Structure 1
Amino acid sequence: MSKVVLITGGSSGIGKSIGEFLQEKGFKVYGTSRNPKNYPQSKFPIIALDVTKQETISTCIAEVLSQESTIDVLINNAGAGITGPIEEIPDIEIKRNFETNFFGPINVIKAVLPTMRKQNSGLIINITSIAGYMGLPFRGVYSASKGALELITEAFRMELKDFNIEMTNVAPGDFATNIAAGRYHAPILDSSPYKEKYGRSLKMMDDHVDDGNDPREMAEAIINIINTKSPKIHYKVGAFMQKFSIVLKRILPDKVYESLLMNHYKLK
């Protein structure tokens, strides 16, 4: 029988690419969106779900189970970008980002665990970010939310060992998607002491996304993980230098690495 895969945020970008690729390979795919009616041409079913609203999580899981009676793979892909000087980002936006990028995936995981435990099998893939391995200037909130998801996955894995449920992180670098359009951008204020450097960094971030890799690369990585008997804890997918930056952080003195980042973002 085909494995049943649920992808949060499966209506566009990386989630859509993963869903279409898995469906081509014979998986039974369900995606989610806050507004499924906006995607009538989707190649796989899109179910209403807002990861910040518990009632929609419960309804979505129940709908998939009513049709398939199982969920073999959960891919926590729904997420939101956020940029700005930490000092100037409103608290409500910081909390909203964590609700989407951290608490949301946790609550979706909690909703599928009883089913996976009952069937004594399951795979949960959390889509994080290479940005979650380092505190990036003017992306600090995003780095923190994705880094938190990386760490809690490590704890979750150990707690789930008795139930034959696997969990892993996949950290993408920059991919050519519409993520920049959906980010919360703190406004560049004329009166801000960060105006010049934030404005320059923001343009660089958007350029990196526009020049990013093909999202199909992520889809190919995901199917390899699904077909792996014992997935690793962490995977990184993206351009060589983006992945290598994690290695550099591990081996270089903190201040040397900080200096490299500041040079990269033209902050000095």
Structure 2
Amino acid sequence: MKTVLITGTSRGIGRETALAFGRAGHKVFASMRNPEKAADFKQQIKDESLSVHLYKMDVDRDESVKHCIDSITKEHGLIDILVNNAGIERHGSVEEMPMAEFKAVMETNYFGAIRCIKAVLPAMRKNKNGFIINVSSMAGKIVLSPLGTYSASKFALEAITEALAQDLKPYNIRVSLVEPGIINTEMAFGISKNDESFYPQARRIGHFWVESLKSAVPPSLVADKILEVAESRSWQLRYPVGPDAEPFWNWRSSMNDEQWVDWNAQSDEDWYNAVESTFGLNCRPEKMEKEK
């Protein structure tokens, strides 16, 4: 049995990961900003008699992270595994995205993970034991406008995780990235909402997400992979998750940078035709209107 701290567990991947570890017999500390709003989660934990304990933590705040982790270690002992899952998504063109949104996404998705890492590392390093799993995204390797703000935070997380793995291997501390593709979560459905924009990519990607989510896999698939990685002895750094993750990366890798920019800068008609021929998805706006 391991002691596991998971951030961002109020819904989606984080919640399913907490349940997966609990069902596997581990002691889980499931953190979120507002545990008082998680009555249904608490009931599920009770119904299944799981060793899952809810803690209040806002990864955006130094004092909140310190207080939560200090409380856990004082009450339960050292943390064996940290799963950095807390994250937010904002989408829009670079011109139209408010500076506050750029900062908010980096604060949670990047600096939030670093805060938690720095809080658990002294004990892990001293004991020469531990595992840090950062939940990234295929958006941490592939940039699609209007997801640049989100991708920037995940690219940063990927980079710091690669550096962290080099720091910590001499101390026997494993580090991994889990990179989900398109997953059926509330966050993903947020991308499908089309906002007014000067730029056509916002509208087009919204249509693409609506169609893709019809066959998207559930967040439990990612949770099961995180559990599998945690229980393995592998030092593998990256784990793409989902049926579209590796194929999408391979497709991106088949183009040079200029071809990739051109593919995403096509006219509407050419772009929708390219999506249908490449992915077999008809996400044209007229089809979306008929299905409303």
Which residue does 1:59 correspond to in 2?
67
Q: Does 1:103 align with 2:111?
A: yes
RMSD, matched Cα: 2.3
- State the one-letter code of the partner of 2:247: F
Which residue does 1:18 correspond to in 2?
17
Q: Does 1:257 align with 2:260?
A: yes
Q: Secondary structure at the match of 2:159?
A: helix
Which residue does 2:88 correspond to in 1?
80
Contact 2:135 2:178 in 1 (8 A): yes
Q: How does 1:87-236 map to 2 (within 5 A)?
A: 87-180=95-188, 187-188=195-196, 192-194=197-199, 196-209=200-213, 211-236=215-240
Q: Secondary structure at the match of 1:50?
A: coil
Query: How many corresponding residue pairs?
Result: 262
Contact 2:17 2:226 in 1 (8 A): yes
- State the one-letter code of the partner of 1:193: F
Contact 1:201 1:265 in 2 (8 A): no
Q: Does 1:46 align with 2:45?
A: no
Contact 2:146 2:205 in 1 (8 A): yes
- State the one-letter code of the partner of 1:239: P
Residue 156 of structure 1, CA deviation: 0.7
Runs of 4 or more consecutive aligned structure 1 residues displaced over 6 Å after TM superposition: none
Q: Secondary structure at the match of 1:160?
A: helix
Query: Percent same amino acid at aligned positions?
Result: 35
- 1:3-51, Cα deviation, whole Å (9 max, x unpaired): 0011000121001111111111101111111101001332222211111
Give the Cα–Cα distance (whole angstroms) in 2 for the partners of residues 115 and 182 of structure 1. 38
- State the one-letter code of the partner of 1:9: G
Q: 2:242 aligns with which of 238, 244, 262?
A: 238
Higher relative contact order (CA 8 A, sep 6+): 1
Q: 1:267 to 1:121 in 2, by over 3 A?
A: farther
- State the one-letter code of the partner of 2:14: G
- 1:37-67, Cα deviation, whole Å (9 max, x unpaired): 0013322222111111010100110111122
Contact 1:85 1:186 in 2 (8 A): no
The structure number with the bigger radius of gyration is 2
- State the one-letter code of the partner of 2:95: E
- 1:127-169, Cα deviation, whole Å (9 max, x unpaired): 0000111121100111111011011111111111222111110
Contact 2:183 2:218 in 1 (8 A): yes
Contact 1:83 1:202 in 2 (8 A): no
Q: 1:233 to 1:197 in 2, by over 3 A?
A: closer
Give the Cα–Cα distance (whole angstroms) in 2 for the partners of residues 214 and 265 of structure 1. 28
Give the Cα–Cα distance (whole angstroms) in 1 for the partners of residues 106 and 87 of structure 2. 9
Contact 2:179 2:239 in 1 (8 A): yes
